[in-house]
């Protein structure tokens, strides 16, 4: 842990993004000390449809929560909408989107947020207080229609830092994460394939997207489950 975190900081400072494979990520999260991990991952089975998608949410399910993080620790805030301007989300920007709240707020989620606070806080030590948003996503794929993890395309989220943590991947192919410079140049790509595989992004420096997912066996259910955690300086106005 002591060696892995500084190396991760160095990579984020140098490249603006990092892929962390499941093994090292489990070390960073101290995964053996997550007593509710099974219940936490099972909560993805209880996500509600995303009714804001043009397809009325048939292929994406989600829950959302807002936290604050500062020197005193992490605190959950009152339930509130998720908002992005059209500058960052041309598909669903400039509206307040209300999603069902995250219910699995136990040791696993708090450890993940705490890791992000340690990691991102070291990269921006002048930030006194962070606004943290947590998103549980399930992307479903069908034989007649691919699932779109990022229907808005290659984008920025309008925050400071992003963690994408793979929770589960069942009967899915593709779903490749791509990282781009502001001029569209491809900077890197990787696929989250195992639980705990993770992508970390400096949102101010790079753009990111995920390719569509399709079922390996079109006769069976197929899904891709991820946890997305965003950190934004609370002193900065919303994106």
Q: How far apart are CA 31 and CA 59, in angstroms?
A: 30
Residue 79 has pLDDT above 70, yes or no: yes
Which residues, including other chains, have CB under 8 Å from residue 112's CB and lie 6 or more apart? 29, 163, 165, 227, 229
Domains defined for the chain, CATH in brackets? 4-233 (2.60.120.620)
User: Are the CB atoms for 99 and 208 separated by under 8 Å?
Assistant: no
pLDDT by residue (tens digit) across 170-214? 999 999 999 999 999 999 999 999 999 999 999 999 999 999 999
Q: Can you give the pTM of this predicted structure?
A: 0.92
- The HSE-up count of residue 215 (CA atoms within 13 Å, CB side) is 14
The pLDDT value given to residue 22: 97
């Amino acid at each position: 842990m002591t060696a892995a975190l500084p190396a991760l900081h160095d990579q984020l400072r140098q490249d603006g993004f990092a892929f962390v494979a499941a093994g090292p990520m489990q070390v960073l999260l101290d995964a053996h000390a997550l007593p509710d991990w099974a219940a936490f991952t099972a909560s993805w089975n209880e996500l509600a449809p995303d009714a804001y998608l043009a397809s009325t949410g048939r292929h994406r399910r989600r829950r959302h929560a807002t936290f604050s993080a500062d020197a005193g620790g992490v605190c959950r805030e009152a339930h509130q909408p998720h908002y992005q301007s059209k500058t960052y989300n041309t598909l669903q920007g400039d509206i307040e989107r209300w999603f069902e709240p995250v219910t699995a707020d136990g040791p696993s989620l708090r450890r993940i947020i705490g890791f992000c606070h340690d990691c991102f806080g070291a990269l921006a030590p002048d930030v006194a207080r962070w606004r943290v948003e947590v998103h549980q996503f399930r992307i479903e794929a069908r034989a007649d229609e691919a699932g779109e993890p990022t229907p808005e395309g290659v984008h920025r989220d309008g925050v400071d830092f992003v963690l994408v943590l793979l929770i589960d991947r069942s009967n899915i192919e593709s779903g490749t994460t791509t990282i781009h410079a502001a001029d569209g140049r491809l900077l890197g790509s990787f696929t989250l394939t195992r639980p705990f595989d993770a992508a970390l992004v400096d949102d101010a420096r790079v753009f990111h997207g995920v390719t569509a997912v399709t079922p390996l066996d079109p006769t069976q259910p197929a899904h891709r489950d991820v946890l997305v955690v965003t950190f934004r300086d609370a002193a900065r106005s919303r994106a």
